[in-house]
């Protein structure tokens, strides 16, 4: 089996999970499930990023120890995973021993090789962003942008990682590996960023300013800069598991591509003598009315509200159907409700209900064998072959929103086929030719619904299991075999009709 290693970013253990965090997990999970169905041995890592100034401050404000604080927050992130049907193999916390051990050993190795040096640092520091700022970060009027919060000038000796020495190599690498970053235009942005000379990276924080971090192995007066620590999670989680590193994809948001993932990370790996990941998959942001959702702007939507109300599958479907991976997407409850009602309640839910209902009414609940496939059946089958021929490559290229668009067009065509064949009319006819048509129609409905359901598996794991169960389907063969038109349900006993996606209650009328 081919091994496939995929990661999400590790979330700051500094606040509760929100829609952006949920989305990234779901996107990664869809890819992980897709690869598993294709036969890969998948290792899927997620986790929490637990060191740094912000965590230290938040813990202090609450009057508790940082460890106690991150234990609670990390648990919240962990608890979210099963609720979203995330099939991760591992969950890493940067406060775990296995992680600290790797960070410490890489630091020592880099120090011994001379890639880390000590120097006096003078600079403007943003506590909120936990980074030193540069002159070019100032606004035209000389002040600092608000996102940096309070900015103070600091002079202190620190440790630096030699980035600049590897700038030419990185440019060369990115130029030769065009598909390293998805979408491609992001790779161009990185190359653009690399036109300016790189500064070496300050990887230490003096203990008196920051205690909550991994101590530098060669100077106990300092802890490790949180990004240097955090990036190594992808490797530390699997360092003891042979055959997994390097990662196939790191799934990250656009805000953490440059410089951490596109500049620091490849250089750290190169210097540590480790193979580079095969790619960085960069998604956009979920916005509300054009603004990024974040704690500080207060427009954070609790993803769990929709999950509790409509189920994880509907939530996953909406996020994957709506977001063109790479671009930003707008979120609103209204957009969710519109998709839910049209695609899930009407198109898919109705199809399931009708198929079960008619199979029970006209065939004693047993899927009949097709007898006389006429033009409508051949057209539907041809459409399936075309849909599948597009669906798989679209998934392969992370174009899930278009893949789902095609799949739901197929589902609507099944519904149109049912309208056209009108089994309820055929069922009333005494003509034996109509009885044949009826059995063929019931078989065709069931088969096309089965195929659409099998294709939907990576996106809606629980709902598709349920549909397969009520159709009386038994698992057989590989995913690709199951995706081929083949009337696999002939003779299957279906369940009673049921409503899979209940229509949301209409909003209460406004009081006069
Ligand atoms: N801890 C760092 C990542 C370290 S990875 C070695 C971090 N954490 S975060 O909690 O701020 O963000 C985690 C992920 O969620 C990032 O990939 C980020 O882009 C993503 N999102 C946060 N808000 C988002 C949206 N509103 N929309 C989509 N994803 C966004 O960065």
Using the mean position of ligand 1's atoms as its centre, give its distance from the Cα of residue 101 in Å.
25
Ligand 1 neighbour 231 (Cβ under 6 A): yes
pTM of the predicted model as reported, rounded to 2 decimal places: 0.95
Ligand 1 neighbour 281 (Cβ under 6 A): no
Ligand 1 neighbour 255 (Cβ under 6 A): yes
What average pLDDT does the structure give for the chain?
Answer: 95
Q: Is the pLDDT of residue 208 over 80?
A: yes
Residue identifier of the C-alpha nearest atom 8 of ligand 1: 11
- pLDDT (mean) for 377-384: 98
Residue identifier of the C-alpha nearest atom 21 of ligand 1: 20
Burial 317-350 (b: 16+ CB within 10 A, else e): bbbbbbbebbeebebeeeebbebbeebbbbbbbb
For 85, 133, 145, 358, 442, the CA distances from 351, given in Å and listed in that order, are 24, 57, 53, 11, 12
Using the mean position of ligand 1's atoms as its centre, give its distance from the Cα of residue 253 in Å.
6
| Residues 6 or more apart in contact with residue 107 via CB below 8 angstroms | 116, 203, 216, 217, 218, 224, 228
Q: Is the pLDDT of residue 506 over 90?
A: no
Residue identifier of the C-alpha nearest atom 23 of ligand 1: 20
Using the mean position of ligand 1's atoms as its centre, give its distance from the Cα of residue 8 in Å.
9
HEC per residue, 399-462? CHHHHHHHHHHHHHHHHHHHHHHCHHHHCCCCCHHHHHHHHHHHHHHHHHHHHHHHHHCCCCHH
Check residue 292 and give its pLDDT.
62
Q: Could you report the per-residue pLDDT of 220-244, keeping only the tens digit for each?
A: 999 999 999 999 999 999 999 999 9
DSSP string, 42-64: EEEEEEEE--SHHHHHHHHHHTS
Ligand 1 neighbour 286 (Cβ under 6 A): yes
Q: Is the pLDDT of residue 396 over 70?
A: yes
3-class state of residue 203 by DSSP: coil
Q: Residue 168: how many CA atoms within 13 Å on its side-chain side? A: 1
State the closest ligand 1 atom to the C-alpha of 286, by its place in the atom list counted from 1. Answer: 27
Q: Are 316 and 458 in contact (CB under 8 A)?
A: no
State the closest ligand 1 atom to the C-alpha of 21, by its place in the atom list counted from 1. Answer: 15
Q: Give the span between the Cα atoms of 293 and 461, in whole angstroms.
A: 27
Q: Could you report the per-residue pLDDT of 111-148, keeping only the tens digit for each?
A: 999 999 999 988 898 877 777 798 889 999 999 999 99
Residue of 7, 20, 300 to mutate, ligand 1, most atoms within 8 A of C-beta: 20
Q: Could you report the per-residue pLDDT of 440-487, keeping only the tens digit for each?
A: 999 999 999 999 999 999 999 999 999 999 999 997 899 999 999 999
- pLDDT (mean) for 307-314: 96
- pLDDT (mean) for 71-92: 98
Residue of 8, 18, 49, 260 to mutate, ligand 1, most atoms within 8 A of C-beta: 49
Q: Give the span between the Cα atoms of 228 and 203, in whole angstroms.
A: 7
State the closest ligand 1 atom to the C-alpha of 230, by its place in the atom list counted from 1. Answer: 6
Q: In this structure, which CATH number among 1.10.760.10, 1.10.540.10, 1.10.730.10, 3.20.20.70 belongs to the domain 332-482?
A: 1.10.730.10
Residue identifier of the C-alpha nearest atom 9 of ligand 1: 11
Using the mean position of ligand 1's atoms as its centre, give its distance from the Cα of residue 146 in Å.
19
Domain ranges of the chain: 332-482
Residue of 12, 21, 102 to mutate, ligand 1, most atoms within 8 A of C-beta: 21
3-class state of residue 124 by DSSP: strand
Ligand 1 neighbour 349 (Cβ under 6 A): no
Residue identifier of the C-alpha nearest atom 12 of ligand 1: 11
Q: Is the pLDDT of residue 172 over 70?
A: yes
Residue identifier of the C-alpha nearest atom 22 of ligand 1: 20
Using the mean position of ligand 1's atoms as its centre, give its distance from the Cα of residue 345 in Å.
32
Ligand 1 neighbour 256 (Cβ under 6 A): yes
- pLDDT (mean) for 77-89: 98
Ligand 1 neighbour 235 (Cβ under 6 A): no
Q: Give the span between the Cα atoms of 114 and 288, in whole angstroms.
A: 47
Ligand 1 neighbour 258 (Cβ under 6 A): no
Check residue 463 and give its pLDDT.
98
Check residue 291 and give its pLDDT.
63
Q: H or E segment at 122?
A: strand 116-126
DSSP string, 235-297: HHTTTTSTT-PSPSEEEEEGGGIIIIIIIIHHHHHHHHT-PPPS-EEEE--EEETTEE--TTT
Ligand 1 neighbour 285 (Cβ under 6 A): yes
Tokens read off for 443: 């078989």
Q: Residue 101: how many CA atoms within 13 Å on its side-chain side? A: 8
Ligand 1 neighbour 24 (Cβ under 6 A): yes
- pLDDT (mean) for 307-316: 96
Listed in order, strand segments (DSSP E) in 137-177 are 151-161
Using the mean position of ligand 1's atoms as its centre, give its distance from the Cα of residue 21 in Å.
6
Percent of the chain with pLDDT over 90: 88
- pLDDT (mean) for 237-263: 98
| Residues 6 or more apart in contact with residue 419 via CB below 8 angstroms | none
| Residues 6 or more apart in contact with residue 484 via CB below 8 angstroms | none
Percent of the chain with pLDDT over 70: 96
Q: Is the pLDDT of residue 512 over 60?
A: no
3-class state of residue 156 by DSSP: strand
The position carrying tokens 């036109």 is 195
Residue of 7, 8, 9, 225 to mutate, ligand 1, most atoms within 8 A of C-beta: 9
Q: Is the pLDDT of residue 429 over 80?
A: yes
CA dihedral 348, 351, 356, 359 (to 10 degrees): -150
Residue of 16, 247, 253, 254 to mutate, ligand 1, most atoms within 8 A of C-beta: 253
Using the mean position of ligand 1's atoms as its centre, give its distance from the Cα of residue 252 in Å.
7
3-class state of residue 501 by DSSP: coil
Q: Give the span between the Cα atoms of 51 and 214, in whole angstroms.
A: 8
Q: Give the span between the Cα atoms of 86 and 65, in whole angstroms.
A: 30
Ligand 1 neighbour 162 (Cβ under 6 A): no
Check residue 293 and give its pLDDT.
61
- pLDDT (mean) for 235-254: 98
| Residues 6 or more apart in contact with residue 342 via CB below 8 angstroms | none
């Amino acid at each position: 089996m081919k091994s496939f290693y995929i990661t999400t970013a590790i979330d700051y253990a500094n606040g509760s999970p929100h829609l952006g965090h949920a989305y990234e997990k779901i996107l990664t999970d869809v890819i992980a499930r897709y690869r598993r169905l294709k036969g890969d041995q998948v290792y899927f890592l997620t986790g929490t990023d637990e060191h740094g100034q912000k965590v230290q401050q938040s813990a202090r404000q609450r009057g508790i120890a940082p460890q106690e604080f991150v234990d609670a927050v990390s648990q919240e992130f962990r608890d979210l995973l099963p609720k979203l049907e995330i099939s991760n193999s591992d969950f890493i916390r940067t406060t775990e021993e296995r992680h600290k051990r790797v960070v410490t050993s890489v630091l020592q190795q880099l120090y011994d090789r001379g890639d880390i040096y000590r120097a006096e640092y003078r600079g403007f520091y943003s506590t909120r962003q936990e980074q030193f700022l540069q002159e070019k970060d100032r606004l035209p009027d000389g002040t600092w942008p608000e996102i940096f919060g309070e900015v103070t000038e600091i002079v202190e000796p620190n440790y630096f990682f030699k980035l600049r020495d590897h700038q030419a190599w990185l440019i060369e690498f990115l130029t030769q590996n065009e598909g390293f970053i998805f979408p491609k235009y992001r790779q161009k942005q990185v190359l653009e960023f690399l036109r300016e000379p790189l500064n070496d990276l300050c990887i230490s924080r003096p203990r008196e300013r920051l205690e909550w971090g991994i101590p530098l192995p060669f100077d106990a007066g300092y802890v490790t800069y949180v990004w240097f620590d955090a990036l190594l999670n992808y490797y530390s989680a699997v360092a003891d598991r042979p055959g997994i590193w390097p990662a196939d994809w790191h799934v990250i948001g656009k805000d953490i591509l440059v410089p951490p993932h596109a500049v620091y990370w490849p250089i750290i790996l190169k210097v540590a003598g480790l193979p580079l990941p095969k790619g960085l998959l960069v998604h956009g942001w979920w916005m509300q009315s054009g603004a990024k959702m974040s704690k500080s702007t207060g427009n954070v939507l609790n993803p769990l509200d929709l999950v509790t109300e409509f189920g994880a599958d509907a939530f996953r479907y909406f996020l994957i159907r709506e977001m063109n991976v790479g671009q930003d997407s707008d979120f609103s409850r209204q957009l969710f409700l519109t998709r839910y009602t049209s695609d899930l309640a009407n198109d898919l839910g109705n199809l399931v209900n009708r198929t079960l209902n008619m199979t029970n009414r006209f065939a004693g609940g047993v899927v009949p064998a097709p007898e006389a496939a006429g033009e409508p059946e051949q057209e539907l089958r041809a459409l399936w072959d075309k849909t599948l021929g597009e669906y798989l490559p679209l998934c392969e290229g992370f174009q899930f929103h278009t893949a789902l668009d095609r799949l739901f067009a197929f589902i609507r065509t099944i519904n149109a086929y049912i309208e056209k064949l009108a089994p309820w009319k055929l069922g009333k006819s005494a003509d034996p030719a109509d009885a044949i048509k009826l059995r063929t129609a019931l078989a065709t409905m069931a088969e096309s619904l089965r195929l659409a359901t099998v294709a939907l598996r990576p996106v809606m794991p629980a709902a598709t299991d349920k549909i397969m169960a009520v159709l009386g389907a038994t698992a057989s063969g590989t995913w690709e075999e199951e995706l081929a038109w083949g009337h696999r349900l002939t003779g299957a006993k279906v369940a009673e009709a049921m409503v899979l996606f209940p229509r949301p209650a209409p909003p209460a009328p406004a009081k006069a």
